[in-house]
Amino acid sequence: MKKILVATVKPFHPNAVESIREICSKAGYEFNLLEKYQDKSALLEAVKDANALIVRSDKVTSDVIEAGKNLEIIVRGGAGYDNVDLQAASKKNIVVMNTPGQNSNAVAELALGMMVYFARNQFNGKAGTELRGKKLGIHAFGNVGQLVAEVAQGFNMDVYAYDPFAKEADIREKGVIPVQSAEELYQTCQYVSIHIPANDKTKASINYDLMKRMPENATLVNTARKEVIDEEGLQKIMKDRDDFNYISDIAPDCKEVFEENYEGRFFFTPKKMGAQTSEANINAGIAAINQIKNYFENGDRTFQVN
Ligand code: 3PG
């Protein structure tokens, strides 16, 4: 009997867990749940006899992979898989997958929600500004970027996008204006929303040079990873320009500097919560277990990332 472990420090919505449990039971798999664990030893113990592991942003480091002697597949219920040591998994022939697109709408809604909240001075009673007619730059036109564009169009924003991996025609088809470089995107748009993955090429790539190009009353929106921001550059731009704002669903490491110096010019959710909706959890959780089932039963590797 295959053993499936769902290990999430930040639990999936209970309905998502119930759905995974049901699918496991119908498929004849044993279901195990480890939620809100305080330290890695709990994960190392729980993974020991699992054939499949489902996680969210939980760190699946080489020691976790070593401990999972029977592991055949790891599925990150979500988009970003920078939390999984792909090399260590590949070395042991463990398949790693993500569930692309399943939680994108939640992230897109939060990005726009934070923009409205911030444009209205965090609902402090003072007159704010509107999004209508403002230029929004989408940095990477993947699943989330495309949905952010769609929601922003509902607000009548002028939407631009930069994505070296997307076809210009596909961007235009969505009513979005493609630009040729990240530099052009940042210098064109008062709002920029970041949707690039975190990898060796993109880490710290949103640097001072890019940020300083943004027009007056700039707002940079980050619902990607905090690692893609060059925090030295971010601190410098916040210091140099009092019209520069930064809002994110993940606080930067230099959060205290913001709290001490830049009141009213930033907003961070208390923990990463772009994908924190019941719908996103249910979609991602069900996709994860179905992908595992499909791999075990049919050898389907469609969403493999290693
Ligand atoms: C993702 O990569 O899918 C999002 O950042 C969501 O991460 P989470 O599952 O930890 O909320």
CA of 80 to the centre of ligand 1 (A): 6
* 171 within a domain of the structure (yes/no): yes
* 58 within a domain of the structure (yes/no): yes
Dump pLDDT digits (tens) for 50-86: 999 999 999 999 999 999 999 999 999 999 999 999 9
Do residues 110 and 98 share a domain?
no
Of 8, 17, 56, 303, the residue with max ligand 1 atoms within 8 A of its CB, to mutate for a pocket test, comes to 56
Do residues 240 and 257 share a domain?
yes
Q: Where are the beta strands (DSSP E) in the chain?
A: 3-8, 30-35, 52-55, 73-76, 95-98, 135-139, 158-162, 177-178, 191-194, 218-222, 244-248, 266-268
Q: Domain range holding 240?
A: 104-268
pLDDT band at 42 (very low <50, low <70, confident <90, very high): very high
Instruction: Tell me the average pLDDT across 148-154.
Output: 98
Do residues 88 and 189 share a domain?
no
Do residues 47 and 141 share a domain?
no
For residue 226, what are the contacts with CB-CB under 8 A and spacing of at least 6?
248, 250, 251, 252, 253
Do residues 174 and 292 share a domain?
no
- What percent of the chain has pLDDT above 90? 100
Instruction: Tell me the average pLDDT across 1-30.
Output: 96
Of 272, 277, 279, the residue with max ligand 1 atoms within 8 A of its CB, to mutate for a pocket test, comes to 272
pLDDT at 146: 98
Q: Which atom from ligand 1 is nearest to the alpha carbon of 103? A: 3
Shortest CA distance to 155 belongs to which of 183, 141, 174, 134?
A: 134
- What percent of the chain has pLDDT above 70? 100
Q: Which two tokens stand for residue 71?
A: 């592991």
Do residues 174 and 204 share a domain?
yes
pLDDT at 130: 98
Q: Give CA–CA dist 290/296, Å, rounded.
A: 10
pLDDT at 190: 98
Dump pLDDT digits (tens) for 172-190: 999 999 999 999 999 999 9
pLDDT band at 142 (very low <50, low <70, confident <90, very high): very high
pLDDT at 298: 98
Q: Which atom from ligand 1 is nearest to the alpha carbon of 57? A: 10
Nearest C-alpha to atom 10 of ligand 1 is from which residue?
Answer: 57
Total H helices, total E strands in the chain: 12, 12
Instruction: Tell me the average pLDDT across 255-283.
Output: 96
CA of 215 to the centre of ligand 1 (A): 30
Do residues 169 and 92 share a domain?
no
* 304 within a domain of the structure (yes/no): no
CA of 79 to the centre of ligand 1 (A): 6
Domain total of the chain: 2
Instruction: Tell me the average pLDDT across 211-220.
Output: 98
Of 103, 143, 226, 249, the residue with max ligand 1 atoms within 8 A of its CB, to mutate for a pocket test, comes to 103
pLDDT band at 115 (very low <50, low <70, confident <90, very high): very high
Predicted TM-score (pTM) of the model is 0.93
* 252 within a domain of the structure (yes/no): yes
pLDDT at 305: 98
Pocket, ligand 1, Cβ cutoff 6 A: 10, 56-57, 78-80, 103, 272, 274-276
pLDDT at 45: 98
* 59 within a domain of the structure (yes/no): yes
Q: Give CA–CA dist 210/158, Å, rounded.
A: 20
CATH of the domain at 65: 3.40.50.720
Question: Which helix (H) or strand (E) covers residue 110, if one does?
Answer: helix 104-119
pLDDT band at 18 (very low <50, low <70, confident <90, very high): very high
Q: Which atom from ligand 1 is nearest to the alpha carbon of 79? A: 3
Mean pLDDT, the chain, whole residue set? 97
Q: Which atom from ligand 1 is nearest to the alpha carbon of 107? A: 4
